[in-house]
Structure 1
Amino acid sequence: MLNLLLVLCATVLNGVFGANILFATVLPSPSHHIWHEAIVEGLLKNGHNITLIGHEKPVIKSTNYTVLQLEIEDLLNDEAKAEFISSLQQPFLSVQFEMWEFTVELAKHDLDSPILTRLMEYPTDSFDILIYDMVVPHLLPLSDHFGMIPIVGTSPYGSNPMLAESFGHHFYTYFPNSALPYADDMSFLQRVENYMYYIITLGVKCYYSKTMNEVIQEKFGKDTSSIASYENRVGLLLSNYDPILDFPEPVPPQIIPVGGVNARPAKKLPQDIKEILDNSKDGVIFFSLGTNMDLSFWSMDTIKTFLTAFSKLKQTILWKYIGDDLIGVPKNIIIRKWYPQNDILAHKNVKIFITHNGALSTHEAMYHGVPTVGIPFFMDQINNAKKMETKGLGRSVDFHTLTAEILYKTIDEVLQNPMYKQNMKRLSRQFRDRPETALERAVFWIEYALRHKDVSNLSTKGRYMSVYQRENLDVLVFLGLSMFIVIYVLFSISTWFADKAIFRRDKKVKQH
Structure 2
Amino acid sequence: MSLVTTSKALSILLLEPIPSTSHHVWAENLIKGLLRKGHHVHITSIHETKIEGKLAQNLTYAVFDDVMKTYEESEDYNPSEWEQYSVFYTGYFTYQWGINACEAITKTKAAKELLEMIKNVEFDVIVQDITLTQCFYGLWEIAKGKPPIVGYIPFGPAPWLKDFIGGPSYPTVRPYTHAAIAKPIDLWQRTWNTLYYIMDDLMRHYYFLPTVQRLAEKYVGHAIRPLYEIEKDSINIVLINSHPAFDSGIPLPPNTLEIAGLNAQPVKSIVDEVVVTYSEDVRVFLDGATDGALVISLGTNIKWKSIGLDKIKTVILALSKLKQRILWKLDIDEPFEVPDNLMTMKWIMQKEVLSHKNVRAVWTHGGLLSTQEAIWKGIPVIVMPFFMDQKSNAQILVTKGVGIYLDIKTLSTQTILHAVEEIFYNESYTKNMKQLSSEFRDRQIPPLDLAIWSIEYTVRHPNGTLVTPLKFQSRIQQNLIDVYVFLFFNIIIILLTGFFLSPGEA
What TM-score do you get using the length of structure 1 for normalisation? 0.88
2:195 corresponds in structure 1 to: 196
TM-fit CA distance, 1:169: 4.3
SS at match of 2:140: helix
| Map 1:285-296 → 2, pairs under 5 A | 285-296=294-305
TM-fit CA distance, 1:490: 7.4
Q: Are residues 1:63 and 2:57 paired?
A: yes
Deviation string for 1:45-96 (max 9, x for gaps)?
A: 1111111112112121312111210121564133446336634631222222
**1-side partners of 2:413 and 2:69: how far apart?**
37
1:386 corresponds in structure 2 to: 395
CA contact (8 A) 1:247 1:387 kept: no
Pick which of 393-402 and 417-426 moved more.
393-402
1:234 corresponds in structure 2 to: 235
TM-fit CA distance, 1:355: 0.6
TM-fit CA distance, 1:343: 1.0
The share of aligned pairs that are identical, in percent, is: 31
**2-side partners of 1:300 and 1:487: how far apart?**
76
Q: Are residues 1:133 and 2:133 paired?
A: no
Deviation string for 1:393-448 (max 9, x for gaps)?
A: 12222222333212221221121111111121222233333343211111011110
Deviation string for 1:338-380 (max 9, x for gaps)?
A: 1111111011111111111111111111111100111111111
Q: How many residues align?
A: 483
1:467 corresponds in structure 2 to: 475
CA contact (8 A) 2:80 2:303 kept: no
Paired AA for residue 211 in structure 1? T
Provide closer, same or farther for how the CA distance between residues 400 and 492 of structure 1 changes in structure 2, counting only shifts above 3 A.
farther
Paired AA for residue 465 in structure 1? Q
Deviation string for 1:142-200 (max 9, x for gaps)?
A: 22322211110000011112133331142223221122232335111100011011011
Aligned partner of 1:360 among 365, 369, 391: 369
TM-fit CA distance, 1:386: 1.8
Aligned partner of 1:48 among 6, 28, 39: 39
| Map 1:198-347 → 2, pairs under 5 A | 198-206=197-205, 207-232=207-232, 233-265=234-266, 268-347=277-356
Deviation string for 1:85-121 (max 9, x for gaps)?
A: 6346312222222222232222122222221222233
Deviation string for 1:316-356 (max 9, x for gaps)?
A: 11110112322133332211111111111011111111111
CA contact (8 A) 1:265 1:346 kept: no
Q: Are residues 1:398 and 2:407 paired?
A: yes
**2-side partners of 1:65 and 1:374: how far apart?**
37
2:273 corresponds in structure 1 to: none
**2-side partners of 1:29 and 1:276: how far apart?**
30
Give structure 2 stretches of 5+ with no counterpart: 268-275
1:432 corresponds in structure 2 to: 441
RMSD: 2.5
Deviation string for 1:23-47 (max 9, x for gaps)?
A: 1110111110111110000000111
Provide closer, same or farther for how the CA distance between residues 90 and 431 of structure 1 changes in structure 2, counting only shifts above 3 A.
closer
1:33 corresponds in structure 2 to: 24
Give structure 1 stretches of 5+ with no counterpart: 1-13, 501-512
Pick which of 72-81 and 42-51 moved more.
72-81
Paired AA for residue 91 in structure 2? Q
CA contact (8 A) 1:25 1:52 kept: yes
Q: Are residues 1:89 and 2:107 paired?
A: no
TM-fit CA distance, 1:264: 3.0
Deviation string for 1:278-312 (max 9, x for gaps)?
A: 11111100000001112221122222332233223
Paired AA for residue 213 in structure 1? Q
| Map 1:490-505 → 2, pairs under 5 A | none
SS at match of 2:252: coil
SS at match of 2:251: coil
SS at match of 2:62: strand
Larger Rg: 1
Provide closer, same or farther for how the CA distance between residues 437 and 105 of structure 1 changes in structure 2, counting only shifts above 3 A.
same
Paired AA for residue 468 in structure 2? T
Aligned partner of 1:24 among 15, 18, 38: 15
TM-fit CA distance, 1:479: 4.9
**2-side partners of 1:339 and 1:199: how far apart?**
39
TM-fit CA distance, 1:392: 1.6
Pick which of 176-185 and 377-386 moved more.
176-185
1:164 corresponds in structure 2 to: 162
Paired AA for residue 459 in structure 1? V
Aligned partner of 1:421 among 411, 430, 435: 430
CA contact (8 A) 1:173 1:191 kept: yes
Paired AA for residue 141 in structure 1? G
Pick which of 227-236 and 481-490 moved more.
481-490
SS at match of 1:408: helix
TM-fit CA distance, 1:493: 8.2
What TM-score do you get using the length of structure 2 for normalisation? 0.89
CA contact (8 A) 1:393 1:421 kept: yes
Provide closer, same or farther for how the CA distance between residues 180 and 490 of structure 1 changes in structure 2, counting only shifts above 3 A.
farther
| Map 1:433-448 → 2, pairs under 5 A | 433-448=442-457
Paired AA for residue 208 in structure 1? F
CA contact (8 A) 2:82 2:386 kept: no
| Map 1:116-131 → 2, pairs under 5 A | 116-122=111-117, 124-131=120-127
Provide closer, same or farther for how the CA distance between residues 150 and 215 of structure 1 changes in structure 2, counting only shifts above 3 A.
same
**1-side partners of 2:486 and 2:310: how far apart?**
62
